[in-house]
Amino acid sequence: ASTAVPVGVLESDDLPGAWARLDAFEGPAYRRVLVLVDQIRGQGEEGGQCVANAYLAASPRALDSSLAF
Distance CA 38, CA 49 (A): 5
Q: Are 9 and 52 in contact (CB under 8 A)?
A: yes
Taking only the tens place, the pLDDT of each residue in 18-57 is 999 999 999 999 999 999 998 877 676 667 888 999 999 9
Task: Please tell me the predicted confidence (pLDDT) of residue 69.
Answer: 45
What's this model's pTM, rounded to 2 decimal places? 0.68
Decide: helix, strand or coil at residue 2.
coil
Q: Is 20 left (phi over 0), alpha (psi -120 to 50) or beta?
A: alpha
